Structure 1
C-alpha cells in the first residue's frame, strides 16, 4: 500500500465513555434550563386544547429565569433574571405555590396583577367585563380521561365512545380567543360562581380550559394566585402525542395522535 498506514483507532476507555455521557447530560440540562423544556400533560384540565398524553415544548426564555428554571430548583438566587411578564391568554407552565413547591402545573393566564376576576353562573368576568362565549358546532369527544373514585383512587379510562362535551369559543378583553369545554349546565358546576377575586401585585390568575374539570385559581385552597417567581415558561408546541402511557413505549406507535403532531399551542 502507498502512503503511511493509518493508525488503528484506539477503543474508547471507560473514563472517556463516562466523560462523553456527562457532557451529553450537561448539554441536555443546559438546553432544558435556558431554552426549551419538555413537558408531558398528565391530566385533563386543559382539554380540549391539551390532552392527556401530549408532549410539549415550553419556552424557558419567554418570561426570564428563576431558580425554578434550573433542574431540581436549587435556591441559588431570588427573583427573576431577564424577566418578561406573561400576556393574558397565554398557556403557562408554573410551579404550584403549595407548601412543597414540587409540582409543575399548566394553565391559561386569565388575570394580571390588579385585575378583578369573578365567575357568575359559569361565565367569566374580568374587571366587570363579561368574556363572551360562542357555542361551537361539534362537541369534544373525550376518549381518554381520568375517573376519580370515591375512595380517592384514580382510573385512566380509554374509551373511543367517551362522553361528548360542548365547546365554546371564549374571547378575553384583549381580543385573544380560545376554546373551552363545559360539561355541566351553566351555574351548576362547583366553580361556576365565585366571589370577586382581586389579583395581588406580582401574581397571576390561572384557569384551565376544561372549566368543570380544573382546579385552578378559582379555588383558593387548591391553587390560588400564582407568584411571578413561580412561572417556568410559555407552552409553545405539541411535538408528540399518544394515547399510551408515557412508559408504555411499545404502544406509542399504535396510540399516536398524528393530527396533533407539531400543533402550535394557542
Structure 2
C-alpha cells in the first residue's frame, strides 16, 4: 500500500515538473527582449509607410502643378500696341491651352496664335471677330457679320483701313477673322500676309496679365 502511495506521489510530482517546464517555455517565448524587437520592427514599418505616403502625395502635387502650368500658365509676351488699352507692349500674359479642347473659340476671345502656323515667328495676340462659316466685311469703319453691323464683343471702332475686308471675306469651317482693338497699330486678318486664322494655329486663350503694373490680373474684357 505504501508502495502504491509512493508511486502516486511520484506521478503527481512528475506532472508538476512537466507543468512548470511548459510554463517556463511559455515565458521564454514572451520574454521582454523579443517583444521589444517586435515593437521596433513595427515602428520601422510604420515610418516607412508614412514616408511612402508623403512621397506619393508630393508626387501627386507635382503632377497637378505641372498640368496646371502646362495648360493654364504658359507665358507669352505681347509685342506692340495692337491690343491697347487691354494689353500694353511687353506685357507677359498667361495662355489657357486647355479651354479650346472643351469648347470652341468665341467672338470676343483674345487669343495667341502663330500667323500662318509659322513656328519661327513670335506669337501674335488679337481678338476674334469672325467665326467659322460667317462672312466678314468692314464698311464705313464698322464690322459687318453676314451683312449685319456687329458691335457686341468687337472693340475696334472707326476702322480706317479695311484691307482685304473691304470686300466680303467668307470664313471656312476652321477659320477665324481677328482684329486688334487698337486697329491703327495692328497687323491682323485685314492684311493679306496674315489673313484668316485657322483653328490649328491658335495656341490658346489669353486670360491673365502676369506683368506687375496697372494691368496685372485677369484680362478685363
The TM-score bracket by the shorter chain reads: 0.5 to 0.7
Change (3 A) 1:129 1:101: farther
Q: What is the rounded CA distance, in whole Å, between the counterparts of 1:265 and 1:56 in structure 2?
A: 13
Deviation, 1:222, is 2.2
Deviation, 1:38, is 1.2
Q: How many residues align?
A: 160
State yes or no: 1:207 paired with 2:162.
no
Aligned to 1:254: none
Q: Which has the larger radius of gyration?
A: 2
Q: How does 1:154-193 map to 2 (within 5 A)?
A: 171-172=151-152, 176=153, 179-180=155-156, 187=160, 189=161, 191=163
- Indicate the RMSD between aligned Cα atoms, in angstroms: 2.7
Q: What is the rounded CA distance, in whole Å, between the counterparts of 1:239 and 1:57 in structure 2?
A: 7
Q: What is the rounded CA distance, in whole Å, between the counterparts of 1:44 and 1:223 in structure 2?
A: 17
Q: What is the rounded CA distance, in whole Å, between the counterparts of 1:223 and 1:180 in structure 2?
A: 18
Change (3 A) 1:190 1:120: closer
Change (3 A) 1:263 1:181: farther
Conservation of the 8 A alpha-carbon contact between 1:34 and 1:60: yes
Deviation, 1:32, is 4.4
Q: 1:103 aligns with which of 122, 125, 129?
A: 122
Aligned to 1:261: 216
Deviation, 1:180, is 3.6
Greater RCO (Cα-Cα under 8 Å, separation 6 or more): 1
Query: Is the partner of 1:106 in helix, strand or coil?
Result: strand
Q: What is the rounded CA distance, in whole Å, between the counterparts of 1:235 and 1:128 in structure 2?
A: 29
Q: 2:195 aligns with which of 209, 219, 224?
A: 224
Higher-helix-fraction structure? 2
Q: TM-score, normalised by structure 2?
A: 0.63
Query: Is the partner of 1:125 in helix, strand or coil?
Result: strand
Aligned to 1:57: 94
Q: What is the rounded CA distance, in whole Å, between the counterparts of 2:144 and 2:187 in structure 1?
A: 18
Conservation of the 8 A alpha-carbon contact between 1:121 and 1:192: no
Could you tell me which runs of 5 or more consecutive residues in structure 1 were left unpaired when the two chains were aligned: 1-25, 65-82, 132-170, 242-256
